[in-house]
Amino acid sequence: MTARKLKHRQFLLSILALRYDLSQKQIGAAAGMPQKQVSQALRPSTRRGDLSDRIYERLLSAISSPPAAVEIVTACVESLEALERNELTEDEAAVVESTVLAAARQTREILTEAVQLSRAVPERGYPEPGEATLSRQHVGVLWSRLAGLSEESRLAVVRAAEEFQSWSLCERICEESEAEASRSLERAAGLARLAQEIAERVPGPEEWRHRVRGYAAAHRANVLRVSGDLRAADAALEEAKRLWRTGADPASVLDPGRVLDLEASLLRGQRRFKEALAALDEALAIGRSPARVLIKKAFTLETMGDYGRAVETLLQAAPQVEGLGDPRLLYMMHFNLAVNFCHLGRYTEAAEHVQTVRTLAGDLGDEVFLIRVLWLEGRIAAGLGRPQEAGTLLEEVRRELGLRKLSYDVALVLLEKAVLLLEAGRPVEVKALAGELAQVFEDKGVHREALAALRLFQEAAEHEDATAELARRVLRFLFRARYDQGLHFES
């Protein structure tokens, strides 16, 4: 027991005694201790070791304060100690502490309201007919209360309030995690952990709880997949499938195709393309999200280099996506259509989707989406024979991607610029541009075959032997090799 801890305990007991207007005599009477002993125990100069765990617990019990009071005073003491220890200026420290205090107030308000509401929450089992729709309607309110909190505060709310321990909130947070995976893996992982925390507390029959836990675990596996840890993702998904299979959901409250389509994404990442397509076809047959599954199927076909079938699949999905009106799915459909049309050299058809894609990306407020739209516009301008416009757009994209250290994307854009320069007969500029590829070679995420293709082009550019056809060939390879790292480059 440290001196700091002793002082902390003395201070805590003194504050609680003042708060509840208790004298040392009253505390001593309640604790069965002489007043002099109480006074010595609370005196700041008390020697190390005098305030034992037994005495502390005895005095704390005598004060008879609510358990939460101890946590509140402890937090206050820790905040004061943080002020003494940090290296911030007074103004900076004031901003930090006021922000922490505001966050604590917000969390307290949400927790208080949630716990009060939870008193009225009846014992819940498997959702009755009609309950699922109502539960999903209410979940928007619950998520709005959690969205602005830190991960730690979200977990605290979920652990304390039964209202937040629902299958529908777990389902919603799984959706949020998957959406965040393309923007921030850290946030996506935090949401996946939150979904699993909720899943562990969902009430109802054990078989139903297994299904919910399997559903949440599959989304955790998805985060691992996107992060590139395919081995861990595979293990996590196997556990998710085990829970899903041992569970039961007679009314198919949870989408029966969702775990399958997440498995298909992992299979695609493992280059098991036929199995991925089979899993998507099964998800399409039994699931409730055909538009989403078709978009995933199209992307798998694009990864395989089958751009024609990818376009056909996206056009098949179009009526359903338009009917749903989900802006994210609409963006993915139109963007992927335009990209595949570019791969096929059908730039006029690609251009028909650009304005829709730009509007949707702006509405979604995703900076990376907007950069990719700019990139798409540059590719289309180049394909339609507007090299000056294309060069300007691609240079802006290269700069934005470089700021975000997306080196693989930077390499793709540099190659697209190289095609324009080589077609214009400017190999000296290509030689200078090829020097920028060096940063890609330092990126540990770029695999051997992609690096070999880039080195071949760089060496040709440095000797001014590079051709537009070579740049196009390397570019086509890199587009596919990003998602198929077993692909070999034929030099």
Instruction: Evaluate whether 306 touches 277 at the Cβ level (below 8 Å).
Output: no
State how far the Cα of 224 lies from the Cα of 218, in Å rounded to an integer. 10
Tens digits of residue pLDDT in 342-390: 999 999 999 999 999 999 999 988 888 899 999 999 999 999 999 999 9
pLDDT mean over 468-472: 92
| Integer angstrom CA distances of residue 475 from 176, 415, 445, 479 | 33, 6, 18, 6
Residues 164, 72 share a domain: no
State which of 65, 81, 97 marks the end of a domain. 81
Domain count, the chain: 2
Residues 6+ apart with CB under 8 A from 313: 294, 297, 298, 301
Most confident of the following: 76-90, 92-106, 109-123, 138-152 = 138-152
Residue that wins the pLDDT comparison between 98 and 145: 145
- How many Å apart are CA 343 and CA 299, to the nearest integer? 13
Q: How many Å apart are CA 485 and CA 489, to the nearest integer?
A: 10
Of 81, 112, 147, the residue that ends a domain is 81
Between 479 and 335, residue with greater pLDDT:
335
Examine residue 201 and state whether it is found in any structural domain, yes or no: yes
Provide the pLDDT for residue 472. 93
Nearest to 191 by CA among 166, 165, 172: 172
Q: Does residue 467 lie in a domain region? A: no
Same domain for 169 and 69: no
> Which segment, 39-48, 92-101, 147-156, 279-288, is predicted with the most confidence on average?
279-288
pLDDT at 443: 60
Asked if residues 237 and 205 have their Cβ atoms less than 8 Å apart, the reply is no
* 349 lies in some domain: no
Tell me what percent of the residues of the chain surpass a pLDDT of 90.
51
In a domain, 475, yes or no: no
Range name among 113-122, 133-142, 416-425 with the lowest pLDDT average: 113-122
* CATH number of the structural domain spanning residue 190: 1.25.40.10
pLDDT-derived band at 23 (thresholds 50, 70, 90) equals confident
CA distance 11 to 17: 10
> pTM of the prediction?
0.73
One domain for residues 72 and 189: no
Whether residue 284 sits in one domain with residue 160: yes
So what's the pLDDT on residue 395? 93
Alpha carbon distance 259, 273 (integer Å): 17
* CATH number for position 66: 1.10.260
Same domain, 59 and 173: no
Query: Tens of pLDDT along 154-164?
Result: 999 999 888 89
Residues 54 and 171 in one domain: no
Give the per-residue pLDDT at 4: 43
Q: Are 287 and 260 in contact (CB under 8 A)?
A: yes
Position 460 in a domain: no
In a domain, 388, yes or no: no
* Co-location of 55 and 159 in the same domain: no
Weakest mean pLDDT among 124-128, 307-311, 423-427: 124-128
Residue 366: the pLDDT is: 81
Query: For residue 17, is it within any domain?
Result: yes
| Full residue range of the structural domain in which residue 273 is found | 155-288
62 & 169 share domain: no
- Is the sign of the CA dihedral 40, 44, 45, 49 positive or negative? positive
Asked whether residue 197 falls in the same domain as residue 284, the answer is yes
Average pLDDT, the chain: 85
